[in-house]
């Protein structure tokens, strides 16, 4: 029985890349205002990739339960030099689930993930594709060139998060890497093989290995609307990412336990020394209360951490689907005419 997965048959050379094509996965949640202009930019991009590499592209818009007109607009988009799929989820499942739905529906070989708010510049895609086709990289990920416009607190939190999640890890998750990345056919196949339901996409895309390269870029300002990730949601996402990807918090818990126990032991010895050798009577009260409160607080935190992991085990055990597709439609780009033939299947 083979316990690993062999994806070597999908390896790409410059000659085979074009035949395999590229799927661009775009999760959209209430992005109606900028969808048409983004689509236009993607159509232009597809034409230029076709021209340069003979690479055929498709775009997979995953509507993550938007409450505005995103879905209606997405259905009406023209397949102008690019195949278009619109996958509409039954409710808002969150970006990670939307990315997974896009990956599952992608029909071409390589897969590129980009945000639907215009912050991930389509102009950069040609460079990413170049690293894949010309230089033979499997995972081309982008990272913020700098964090100068962010507060010190936020930068320190990010530092701490990555220090913790990468602690003792063989394959480190690159700091600052975003979800804007390209996976070669074999890397995409590897990512599809990972069975977990609690997905931390950045971590998994790095964990699979292969030849990876970093591309620095400056994210554009959001063209409209506001980020859906508030500070509170980011903290939640960090806990989610940490606990579904790494056991570092459990190790910190054990280490802290060892430290506290050693401290208590030494403290006990010193009290014994004072009583037996120096003959001092121990007043006791303040040290007792401080000790009690420290141990009590630390224990509660540790129980919380263990609880997070038990929650993860429960959700993996329940094995619920990560998303439901309520509607799926697709349009094939026709090489000769501007509008593609429409094919539509409801309630996939």
The radius of gyration of the chain from alpha carbons, rounded to an integer in Å, stands at: 25
State the minimum distance, in angstroms, from the CB of residue 117 to ligand UDP: 4
Answer yes or no whether residue 157 interacts with Mg ion by CB under 5 A: no
- Binding status of residue 228 toward ligand UDP by CB under 6 A: yes
Q: Is 330 in the site for ligand UDP (CB under 6 A)?
A: no
Cα 97 from Cα 93, distance rounded (Å): 6
Q: In this chain, which of 98, 188, 253, 329 binds ligand UDP, going by CB under 6 A?
A: 98
Under the binding rule (CB under 6 A), the answer on residue 94 touching ligand UDP is yes
Q: How many residues bind ligand UDP (CB under 6 A)?
A: 16
102 binds ligand UDP (CB under 6 A): no
| Residue choice 48, 119, 157, 315 for contact with Mg ion (CB under 5 A) | 119
**Interaction with ligand UDP in 148-167: which residues (CB under 6 A)?**
none
Name which position in 11, 40, 119, 315 contacts ligand UDP (CB under 6 A): 119
CB of 247 to ligand UDP, least distance (A): 26
117 makes contact with ligand UDP (CB under 6 A): yes
Residue 341, φ and ψ in degrees, nearest 5: -75, 135
CA geometry: angle at 300 spanning 296 and 305, to 5°?
150
Within 13 Å and on the Cβ side, how many CA atoms surround 332?
7
The tokens for 302 are 């540790």
> Considering CB under 5 A, how many residues would be counted as binding Mg ion?
3
Exactly one of 5, 171, 193, 227 binds ligand UDP (CB under 6 A); that residue is 227
| Sequence-separated (6 or more) residues with CB below 8 Å from residue 12 | 20, 109, 110, 132, 133, 136, 184, 185, 186
- Per-position b or e across 214-239, b if 16+ CB within 10 A of its CB: ebebebeeeeeeeeeeeeeeeeebbe
Site string for ligand UDP, 9-38 (x = CB under 6 A): ------------------xxx-x-------
Contact 101, 62 (CB under 8 A): yes
Contact call for residue 117 and Mg ion (CB under 5 A) = yes
Of 55, 61, 64, 83, the one binding ligand UDP by CB under 6 A:
64
Distance from C-alpha of 109 to C-alpha of 55, rounded to nearest angstrom: 11
Q: Of the two residues 67 and 254, which places its CB atom closer to ligand UDP in the complex?
A: 67
**Strand boundaries in 184-319, DSSP class E:** 212-217
Nearest Cα to Cα of residue 61 among 45, 36, 51: 36
The answer to whether 85 and 60 have CB atoms below 8 angstroms apart is: yes
Contacts with ligand UDP by CB under 6 A lie at 27-29, 31, 64, 92, 94-95, 98, 115-117, 119, 227-229
Contacts with Mg ion by CB under 5 A lie at 115, 117, 119
């Amino acid at each position: 029985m083979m316990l690993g997965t062999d994806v070597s048959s999908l390896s790409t050379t410059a000659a085979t890349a074009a035949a395999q094509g590229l799927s661009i996965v775009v999760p959209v949640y209430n992005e109606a205002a900028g969808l048409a202009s983004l689509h236009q930019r993607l159509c232009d991009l597809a034409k230029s990739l076709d021209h340069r590499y003979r690479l055929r592209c498709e775009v997979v818009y995953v509507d993550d339960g938007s409450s505005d007109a995103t879905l209606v607009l997405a259905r009406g988009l023209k397949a102008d030099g690019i195949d278009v799929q619109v996958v509409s989820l039954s409710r808002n499942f969150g970006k990670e689930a939307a990315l997974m739905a896009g990956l599952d529906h992608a029909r071409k070989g390589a897969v590129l993930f980009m945000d639907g708010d215009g912050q991930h510049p389509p102009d950069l895609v040609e460079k990413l594709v170049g690293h894949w086709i010309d230089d033979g990289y499997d995972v081309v990920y982008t990272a913020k060139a700098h964090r100068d416009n962010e507060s010190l607190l936020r930068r320190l939190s990010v530092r701490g998060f990555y220090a913790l999640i990468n602690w003792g890890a063989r394959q480190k998750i690159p700091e600052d890497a975003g979800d804007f990345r390209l996976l070669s056919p074999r890397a995409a196949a590897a990512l599809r093989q990972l069975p977990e339901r609690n997905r931390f996409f950045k971590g998994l895309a790095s964990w699979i290995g292969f030849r990876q390269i970093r591309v620095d870029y400056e994210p554009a300002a959001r063209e409209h609307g506001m980020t859906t990730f508030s500070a509170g949601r980011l903290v939640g996402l960090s806990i989610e990412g940490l606990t579904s990807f790494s056991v570092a918090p459990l190790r910190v818990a054990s280490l802290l336990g060892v430290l506290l126990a050693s401290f208590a032991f030494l403290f006990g010895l010193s009290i014994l020394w004072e009583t037996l050798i120096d003959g001092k009577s121990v007043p006791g009260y303040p040290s007792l209360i401080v000790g009690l409160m420290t141990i009590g607080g630390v224990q509660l935190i540790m129980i919380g951490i263990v609880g997070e992991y038990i929650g993860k085990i429960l959700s993996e055990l329940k094995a619920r689907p990560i998303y439901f597709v309520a509607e799926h439609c697709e349009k094939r780009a026709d090489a000769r005419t501007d509008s593609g033939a429409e094919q539509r299947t409801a309630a996939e």
